[in-house]
Chain A
Amino acid sequence: MTDLWEFFLAFVRLGLISFGGTNVAEIERVLVLHHGWIDARTLANGFALGQLMPGPNMLAVTHYGYAAAGLPGALTATLGFYGPTALVSAAAVLIWQRHSAHPWVIAFRNALLPFGGGVILAGALVLARTSVTSLPAALLAGAAFLLLWRTRVNSAVVVLGAAVLGALLGL
């Protein structure tokens, strides 16, 4: 049985170093190769399941925690991965608001917004490379985009519909 404190610290560290999204390579290095808490199969399955769960994609950490140490492990992993980073974020935004009239903060904001646009477009490209691997997949993504852009249909309905289509087409 793993030492929960060591387990907790490992997930705190993984949360804090997953900059701008997820860091699957590092998660694998720590959990599978270094500690041997889970195997590669569990890593892949948990990641796929995380995509399907309601909520953040990296709920895979809950799965890894459960696989390694049951319910206490699952809760420890989730709290460690998400807690500290959420605290940092809330503190950052409150500091940001307190000084929002400062000329340098305004300058920083103006510098930040175009940067954010580039980051999110880059993320879309990276995601497209992994998920749009065939013509049907590209058409599906295009149809979903038009639907979301032009109508007010709930996005969950679009995602679930695409999942059903994906299963039918055997993507």
Chain B
Amino acid sequence: MTQAEAALPPEDEPITSAQAAPTPLSLARLFVGVALSGIGGGLPAHTRRALLSRGWMTEEAFAETFTLAQLTPGPNAVNLAAMVGARLAGRMGALASVLGVLTPGLLAMLVVSVVTLGQPGGLPPLLQSALKGAACAALAVLLTAALPVVRVGWGLRGGPAVTVLVFLALGVLRLDLLPVLLVGLGAGLLIHRPGGKP
């Protein structure tokens, strides 16, 4: 695998420091940073920004890893951290990345739980409004992460059709992920089967 070395500069961000292969410790540090900036969601987008700006992953390798993370059961921001860590620095990399992405929020949530569970009633209205505002920005963060992933898939044979149909099935019709997955992947495998047209 030469993705780390063969990193192409993405259009929107110059590579600041093309470092050597990341260590578990440097990955843990990266993911602590991702967690701290991921208030209100959008962790995959922050992960992408952090990895690409360090030149540790190409746009394409990230899109691939991100999609794989979507397919594994569980909270996909943490799965993505596990996958990126494993991909760049093996088992210890995975462990360090997961601990890095979980620890800041775990500590913050413990403190907040101790405080809020001590008081009756719900959250104050001001905080609820702030949460709604943060959610709007989180949506924007998600969109900036979505576009590169869509662009990579769009260039493949049959890609646009599959992307649009999956979007309609999951987003508009709200169908179950599993049947959509089987049909969508099945169609893609048929189009790209080995021995078929290149």
Residues of A participating in the B interface, judged by any CB pair closer than 8 Å: 15-22, 41-42, 44-45, 48-59, 62-63, 66-67, 71, 74, 78, 81-82, 84-90, 92-94, 96-97, 100, 103-104, 106-128, 130-132, 137-138, 140-142, 144-145, 147-149, 152, 154-156, 158-167, 169-171
Contacts and interface: CB of A to CB of B under 8 A. Distances in A.
Interface of B: 1, 12-13, 35-43, 45-46, 49, 63-83, 85-87, 90-91, 94, 98, 101-106, 108-110, 112-114, 116-117, 122-123, 125-146, 149-150, 152-154, 156-167, 169-172, 177-178, 181, 184-185, 187-189, 191-195
A117 B78 contact: no
A147 B12 CA distance: 13
Contact of B40 (A116, A118, A159): A159
Q: Is the interface of B mostly helix, strand, loop or mixed?
A: helix
Contacts of A113: 63-64, 67, 149, 152-153, 156, 159
Contacts of A112: 64, 67-68, 71, 185, 188
B74 A162 contact: no
B126 to A, nearest CB: 5
Nearest to A119: B70
A3 B66 CA distance: 36
Contacts of A137: 132-133, 136
Nearest to A141: B136
Contacts of A117: 146, 149-150, 152-154, 159, 163, 166-167
Contacts of A154: 37
Contacts of B167: 117-118, 121-122, 125
10 contacts: A66-B109, A66-B114, A112-B71, A113-B64, A114-B160, A117-B154, A127-B142, A155-B46, A155-B144, A170-B125
A115 B75 contact: no
Contacts of A144: 136-137, 139-141
A52 B128 CA distance: 10
Given A19-B73, A115-B188, A120-B150, A63 B136 contact: no
